[in-house]
Structure 1
């Protein structure tokens, strides 16, 4: 690792092994070998596990002078979590990207070696960020070595070295070196076997035993675990120390930061003579630049063996001397540990610390503070409030099991209507997070009905996600129940954007699109300017409104704005969904390279945050491209998974994709079967968008009654809206069932209207069906004109299935047509990531901006870019523009705007 680092490469290694096995010794060895490197060190502390970003703060504190070099959003994220500024809670993954940038900058002139000991005791937020960074190191000249007893979920999958015990001969050599008498071979064999060659155990377990005990194997008969036996060994040494030294050890064990000044001031509070006590710890404690124990098991042995009143005294002393403004959470934690029973003042301070932790993005820490506050709360009502707040904090922290436990406790309390409604809302969110869509809808609906009596605004806030969940289930009865519940609430005196949205969506279900049209149009207009907070909370539901009013321009503007706001806010957990919606309109616009770039970015983010997205964007793109083999496999998987999870939205999306695919391939009965598989599933947008496919498939399959019925339903959907999108789709679909001059006029209307949209695939399809109709009418010259236009458009866009359908129609008119495909040879040799980087660079983004998009450091982007230049035979970014195939209507980045 050290050699590779000197060559400018990055390396990561997790050292896993039992306590005392030698992991810390290996870290020290690496530090000695890394002459000329910059060092960063951190160590997990068991008592600090609930303090968000505490471990990361240790690691990054020496680099704070480099924070100004980071892009503003990344700098703000780190300064917020390290309490260097006030701000909204940043996404942990944005924090990870910032740390990656910080490490890359610090390693620009000299290699950087990061050593983390006792990683099993890192706070969860720090472990997540460090794991995130470790997976993205490549060309930064950074090495990260983590020592841990067990591999937590944040570190799984990283390169790992299991540190085992000494080989038997070496174990015997060490044992003989630390014993004063020659041991019987049977006794030494037993000791070596029981310790597993653990060097610390071999040294410590024999310390303090008499020659008789060693020779006879007495004193080694404790049946406890090895760490416990090592702790006992340390404990024997501790018990032999003077009282003042033991108290100093306890103060140091209770103080998680390792600040010698803090330990000294706390010792003064407890009348511990500091110099004398510090000098007489038998080498178990070191007080230099930082307070460190000989081994982490010394700390745990000291703390666990202390009497409760002594522990409380140590924590109280530490609380009294912890007076820095940025350490208020540690002060509160010490006060809580010092409390012998319920204490409202301390509980209130913990509650304030929870709010501060939440503002820094430490949701797990916020939940921990609130859970501790519950224990210290005597008043039943306050205790219930804090229990509920703790449960609500655990949910975004991802601790669903803890939410369930707290909900069980809450179920045993006497709750008023407001608290009962909030509890039920939590149960609904847990159900949805667990994949139980139907149950989630019922619980959220019941919650809103209970909340309505106490707080109708809060009830509407619950009904908004309930409507979204019901949509994902896609069951009409669920949507109707939620919608009628919303209609029953009194109209707000000063409606918020969320109120206007909910009103429009509920009218859509209860009264139909014609009645809902004015409210939906008003909501679509206002929703183009909602705040980033609203986008985060319910933007995933708002995204459907522009589609519901058949406004492709509004869809494009709204989806692009949501992506930009979410990216700027650093809410990366929500970014894949918003990228997926932007991909929908991008694919529909015929900009397939841009859509593919958005899909790749969404996949990158999803992998980074460990939350896979449904493949709806891929389905849309592949179906339009006519790539049957790939599309059919994903369609089948999506249908299977959606049926198992009860998510009707997935079925609608999969069958819509199948209908488009098979209509493009001129296999109309298969397209018809796919649409019929949806049954009575309902979605405000997809259900309407499926209807044109149903009419076309039914007409071509000779199912005229089915076609007429679907057309009537489509007209109900489009008539309330006069957009070119709505009018163009309606005219094209009407023409399919019309005859003579009426059909001719409708086809021309469709081409004119769709020509005013950005929906190039729909325009090309209008030319195609018109050309097909003209050929059947024996107007071959006119047919060739429209079929050629359709064919050229399909080829340019990359719609291979529809292009082949148009080519066959042209041949039927007597024209010779050579099969063509969209030019894409220029980037065939590039990997998916290289293609992403090349597209983003061609769009004008800098290396740091590309890195921010793809969770890479600028140096890694540059490394990939050099490979791209070599493969494409170019030497500059300007040449890259001509070396890659151009998009049809703009680059993926152009839709969003550069953002670091």
Structure 2
């Protein structure tokens, strides 16, 4: 950066100190991440250059975001990793395949973006074994979306890899939010004066000098550049001072003034360099030659002050590049892009060539549109959804045939939805529907419109739109139609809680003609979904059980496409073993595939099921993994598992705040499943705290929402609370609904819960038998919290029957179980009951998995205890092997052990 010049890096002592500390920490084996951001011209690049120059003993990797490269998936990441590609073969096979696919080194199915991120994390970890590594990404605001997401993920997972990852950006970047930041502001007054005096030869009056410094706002580039176009006389006299326009515009205008004075051939050379994003001097000169530009006619001292030709073509400042490009006329820009396309190898770099051709096109061009379509296909094969959408969007603009344009617009809209650009998707579908040439394309367009509505949030627009699309798709693609029916059903059942649409969708599914041969898993799931709504659980349970059995061997592609719906139905069969196995397999499949955008959802289901069986330590580890991934990917995660876990633990302060926040946010988003889950959790919490009126109010609020699973699970809470406050009518009404839902299940879980609830309303003789039946049945399940509650309710009932000895036995059993599980509120309720029955008891703290291990540490310890290696644990938890080792050292210290073999014995396990 020019303001270093003869006066050094002026006024940046504190910033350099931060960078020095970062480098020192990395040399000692730690990882560091920093986002250096500030307005154009404040000196970010100079600070990054300072860091690179002072990074002695470190391997330096560098990439620069380029505005015109933002449409090319993984372009910035490729720049950063090119020097390391010889080490890719050392990665685990799935990671190696993912990285080679996105870099075009091999063909394959599009890898999940965050599997690519794990591969980059492992690659940097591997390289850092040989010495500390400094990764610098300048102009990060122009990274392509795929690279930004990958590097943002990597930045959040670095810990003990001896790697520094530093970004320079003009503004905060969504994918980097939450990372450590260093904001670069303008220079202080004294430093600004010093820099101005060093940069100008005129002796300035102090009033003139103060005004220039004030106008520049301490911006170093402005202090150097703005006075450049003024004569000594003008500066000394105060004439020609900078305009009070926005500073970046004034700086760019200063560059424009210099560019306008250049010879025509010099301006054309600068334009070629500005339009060529790679910075390849050979490519620039080949294009220049096609336009008749030579070094003899185009290079002079003024040109050299704006751009340099070395190993790479680099502009003095990014504002020079943008000024050059903006100053050129449309015709010159098109001529330059055409020349660059002609000298770009169509075999080695077909996508950049296609992009140059698109930029060179002044009117629709079918040849170029077809090239862009091919580029979109290659981008999708690499997992670059945003890039594919961009190529297709430009392809639509260059298509003149209306039918072809409609087809491409549908494809572009679909890619835009998948890339998260819903506004562009809506515009493209509008274009497509103007000229749809066939019913098949009209059906696809309607499906995309339904997906747009679904992706926009839980609302009642998406289910009927998806239903209409499914009906239209049936004659053309029966498989896609079935998947669309299931998506519509899920949108109505789990999202919008739209009873009217749910009935209509279920009826339409029932009307589908039977398909030849044995029913496949999706047929069974659809049948169970539809019967659940139209005929009730009694009729649906057989189909649901067949569907759950089929899901055990569900092919991975099917599970990834529609397994979420099947997983959502597993609780309806009242089989906790099937529920756990279904969730665990689904989470493992999604984890192995590296689909981190979906994994937190499956982990949330697994965590909730694990909470229900009373293994709170494992559930907390699952929550930690889920939250860590959600934070790393930047994808919001509803706190359902945490809600259930904290409510069952009886942590009133934490649970109450989380319940209130979830109800408010879920109601605002129209996500009624979230409201129901929060109210159910509140009912569990308040029953544990013996605040039965509060529990009844929460349970009644939950059952008023037509949710297929949670609104059933809350019924036992409602019955218990209603009996305790003397509202037998409410209790009996809820019992009838519970019987309708539970009896068809015909499992120990369903009958055990039903017997416990019936006992609350039964006469003396029947109640005794029902409580015993409940305890016997629940004792054959994995549901330790439900069994403990059955013992507690039986003990409370026995005391009221004056059978104190029997009561103490059951309440003591319940108390010991609650303490062991970690259900503090219910344990205190049981302790008070023991005191009321005449037994003296000392209050005990609930047990935890370990007094010291964090949830993530316990999860790592459990996996290592099962025999997994550090790389295997890292791949499972999306950590580098070195980070796993770092955690293990802490775990060994906390547990006072010295070897991996001791872990299984050192960790408490759920009974």
TM-score, normalised with respect to structure 1: 0.90
Q: In the TM superposition, what whole-angstrom CA distance separates every residue of 1:680-736 from its partner, at most 9, and x where no partner exists? A: 422222233223333333444444444443333333223333333233333443444
1:339 matched to 2:339: no
- Report the equivalent of 2:128: 107
Name the CA distance, whole Å, in 1 between partners of 2:736 and 2:185: 73
8 A Cα contact 1:771 1:782, kept in partner: yes
Residues 207 and 776 (structure 1), Cα distance of their counterparts in 2 relative to 1, 3 Å cut = closer
- Which residue of the partner structure matches residue 866 of structure 1? 889
- Give the structure 2 partner of residue 384 of structure 1: 406
Distance change (3 Å), C-alpha of 1:229 and 1:644: closer
Q: How far apart, CA to CA, are the structure 2 residues paired with 1:420 and 1:680?
A: 38
CA distance in 2, matches of 1:189, 1:470: 66
Shift of 1:99: 2.2
Q: CA deviation at 1:346?
A: 1.4
Distance 1:147 1:794, change over 3 A: closer
1:400 pairs with 2:426: no
Question: Residues 799 and 230 of structure 1: is their aligned pair in 2 closer, same or farther, counting only changes over 3 Å?
Answer: closer
The reply on whether 1:474 has 2:497 as its aligned counterpart is: yes
Given that residues 174 and 202 in structure 1 are in contact (C-alpha distance below 8 angstroms), is that contact kept between their aligned partners in structure 2? yes
User: CA 1:239/1:804 → structure 2, altered by over 3 Å: closer, same or farther?
Assistant: closer
Structure 1 248/629 Cα, relative in aligned 2: closer, same or farther at 3 Å?
A: closer
Residue in 2 aligned with 1:898? none
Which of 304, 310, 313 is equivalent to 2:326?
304
When residues 353 and 616 of structure 1 are mapped into structure 2, their CA distance, relative to the original with a 3 A threshold, is same
* Paired residues of 2:135 and 2:163 also in contact (CA < 8 A): yes
Segment drifting more, 565-574 vs 100-109: 100-109
Q: How far apart are 1:586 and its partner, in Å?
A: 1.0
* Secondary structure at 1:12 match in 2: strand
Counterpart for residue 795 of structure 1: 819
1:546 and 2:570 matched? yes
Deviation of 1:393 after TM superposition, in Å, equals: 1.7
CA contact 2:346–2:353 (8 Å) conserved in 1: no
Paired with 1:195 and 1:105, the residues of 2 have a C-alpha distance of: 45
Runs of 5+ unmatched residues, structure 2: 1-21
Aligned equivalents of 1:335, 1:183: Cα separation in 2: 51
Structure 2 distance, partners of 1:167, 1:124, is 35
Deviations 1:271-301 (A, max 9, x none): 5446875688435433333222233233223
* Structure 1 residue 181, shift from structure 2 partner: 5.3
Spell out, residue by residue over 1:25-75, the C-alpha distance to the aligned partner (whole angstroms, 9 max, x if none).
222222221222111111111111111111111111111222233333333
**Which of 464, 475, 485 matches 1:463?**
485
| Alpha-carbon shift at residue 607 of structure 1 (Å) | 1.6
> Which stretch shows the higher mean deviation, 250-259 or 225-234?
225-234
Query: In the TM superposition, what is the alpha-carbon distance from 1:20 to its structure 2 partner?
Result: 3.3
1:662 matches 2:683: no
- The farther-off stretch of 563-572 and 207-216 is 207-216
Report the Cα distance in structure 2 between the residues aligned to 1:832 and 1:751, rounded to whole angstroms. 31
Contact 1:262 1:318 in 2 (8 A): yes
Q: 1:172 to 1:618 in 2, by over 3 A?
A: closer
Q: Give per-residue Cα distances to partners, 1:437-467, cap 9 Å, x unaligned.
A: 2233344344445555765654433332222
> Equivalent residue for 2:17?
none
Question: What's the CA shift string for 1:322-352, capped at 9, x where partnerless?
Answer: 3364632212212211222111121122122
Q: Which residue is equivalent to 2:618?
A: 594
Q: How far did 1:888 drift?
A: 1.0
Query: SS at 1:47's partner residue?
Result: helix
Aligned equivalents of 1:382 and 1:216: distance in 2? 65
Aligned to 2:559: 535
**Separation of aligned partners in 2, 1:54 and 1:687:** 48
Q: Is the Cα contact below 8 Å between 1:767 and 1:789 reproduced in 2?
A: yes
Identify the residue that residue 63 of structure 2 maps to in structure 1. 42
Instruction: Give 1:64's match in structure 2, choosing from 85, 91, 104.
Output: 85
Superposition map of 1:312-461 within 5 A: 312-323=334-345, 325=347, 327-407=349-429, 409=431, 418-449=440-471, 451=473, 457-461=479-483
- SS state at 1:42 partner: strand
Pick from 729, 733, 736 the counterpart of residue 757 of structure 2. 733
Please name the residue that 2:638 is paired with: 614
Does the 8 A contact of 1:507 with 1:515 survive in 2?
yes
Q: Residue 337 and residue 716 in structure 1: after superposition, are their counterparts in 2 closer, same or farther (change >3 A)?
A: same
Aligned counterparts, 1:484-495, within 5 A: 484-493=507-516
- For residue 143 of structure 2, the aligned residue among 118, 122, 141 is 122
Q: 2:527 aligns with which of 503, 528, 545?
A: 503
CA distance in 2, matches of 1:636, 1:171: 52
Aligned match of 2:152: 131
Take 1:745 and 1:21, find their aligned partners in 2: how far apart are those partners? 80
Distance, in Å, in 1 between the alignment partners of 2:567 and 2:249 is 56
Residue by residue over 1:551-590, the C-alpha shift from the partner in whole angstroms, topping out at 9 and shown as x without a partner, is 2221111100011011111111111111111112211212
Change (3 A) 1:276 1:493: farther
Change (3 A) 1:626 1:291: same
Q: 580-589 or 663-672: which moved more?
A: 663-672
- Indicate whether 1:259 and 2:280 are aligned: yes
CA RMSD of aligned residues (A): 3.3
Q: Distance in 2 between matches of 1:212 and 1:124?
A: 49
3-state DSSP of counterpart to 2:168: strand
Q: 1:163 aligns with which of 160, 167, 184?
A: 184
What does residue 895 of structure 1 align with?
Answer: none
Aligned to 1:629: 653
More displaced stretch, 60-69 vs 262-271: 262-271
Partners of 1:183 and 1:517 lie apart in 2 by 89
Q: Is the 8 A contact 1:456 1:490 kept in 2?
A: no
Tell me the matched-pair count: 887
- Equivalent of 2:111 in 50, 74, 90: 90
Deviates most, 547-556 or 84-93: 84-93
Whether the aligned pair in 1 keeps the contact of 2:269 and 2:288 (CA below 8 Å) is yes
* More deviation, 420-429/478-487: 420-429
Q: Once the 2 structures are TM-superposed, how far is the Cα of residue 594 of structure 1 from its aligned partner?
A: 0.8
Aligned mates of 1:593, 1:832 — CA distance in 2 = 7
1:835-854 matches, cutoff 5 A: 835-854=858-877
Distance 1:730 1:169, change over 3 A: closer
Contact 2:271 2:328 in 1 (8 A): yes
Q: Secondary structure at the match of 1:357?
A: helix
The 8 Å contact of residues 690 and 829 in structure 2, kept in 1 or not, is answered as: yes
Shift in Å, 1:528 = 2.2
Q: Distance in 2 between matches of 1:178 and 1:661?
A: 69
1:649 aligns with 2:670: no
- How far the C-alpha of 1:405 sits from its partner, in A, is 4.2
**Residue of structure 2 in register with 1:757 after alignment:** 781
SS in 2 for 1:593: helix
- Taking a change above 3 Å as real, the CA distance of residues 260 and 784 of structure 1, as seen in their structure-2 partners, is same
Give the corresponding residue for 2:699: 675
Structure 1 residues 719 and 23: CA distance shift in structure 2, 3 A: closer
SS of match in other structure, 1:135: helix
Q: 1:338 to 1:673 in 2, by over 3 A?
A: same
User: 2-side partners of 1:265 and 1:584: how far apart?
Assistant: 62
Residues 1:874 and 1:216: Cα distance change in structure 2 (over 3 Å): same
| 1:285 and 2:291 are equivalent in the alignment | no
Contact 1:751 1:767 in 2 (8 A): yes
Query: Hey, what does 1:570 align to over in structure 2?
Result: 594
Aligned to 1:396, what secondary structure does the other structure show?
A: helix
Q: Matched residues in 2 for 1:36 and 1:761: separation?
A: 57
Task: Say if 1:669 and 1:338 are closer, same or farther in 2 by CA, change over 3 A.
Answer: same
